[in-house]
Each structure stands twice: as structure tokens, then as C-alpha cells.
Amino acid sequence: MLTAAAAAAATGVRVLSATSSQGLLYAMEMLYTVAGWRAPVEDYLKLKGRFRHLFEPQRDAAALAAIQAQVDGYWQAV
């Protein structure tokens, strides 16, 4: 179950809010395991149409680096 949830999360599916209500995956217990499986933020953002402005007409490297730094800071705090 965890592998399926992690794979779904990597493709942008809202896994924790969907499965925790079913009792299948309680977020806090699995957070530390899944944290080691992180993909770069850029991979996630490319899948979401609302972030297209970061990639088209040209890649906004500064904005992507700032977002990645913010996410990395979050994971260090956890």
C-alpha cells in the first residue's frame, strides 16, 4: 500500500488527504519514510498546468530554485 501511495503522490495525486480518511495511511507515521523518496519540485510542477508559466516560454530557473529551497527548508524542519 505504501509503495502505491508514494507512486501516486509522485505523480501529483492528493494521497494523504484521500487515504487518511479511510484509515489506510496515517500521515504522521509514514512521513519520515516517504521524505527520503522525494523527487525534485520541478518534476511535480511540470505535471500541473497552473505552473506552466514557470516553464513557458522559457524556464524560470530563479523561481524554481526559490521554490525548491522553500520545500527543502520545510523538510529539514520536519
What's the pLDDT tens digit per position in 16-47?
555 555 555 555 555 555 556 778 889 889 98
pLDDT tens-digit map of 52-67: 999 999 999 999 999 9
Q: 5 with 31, same domain?
A: yes
Quote the cell numbers at residue 60.
Answer: 524560470
Q: Residue 74's domain spans which residues? A: 39-78
Q: 33 with 3, same domain?
A: yes
Q: 44 with 30, same domain?
A: no
Domain count, the chain: 2
Q: 45 with 72, same domain?
A: yes
Q: 24 with 46, same domain?
A: no
Q: 20 with 55, same domain?
A: no
Q: 47 with 69, same domain?
A: yes
pTM score, two decimals?
A: 0.54
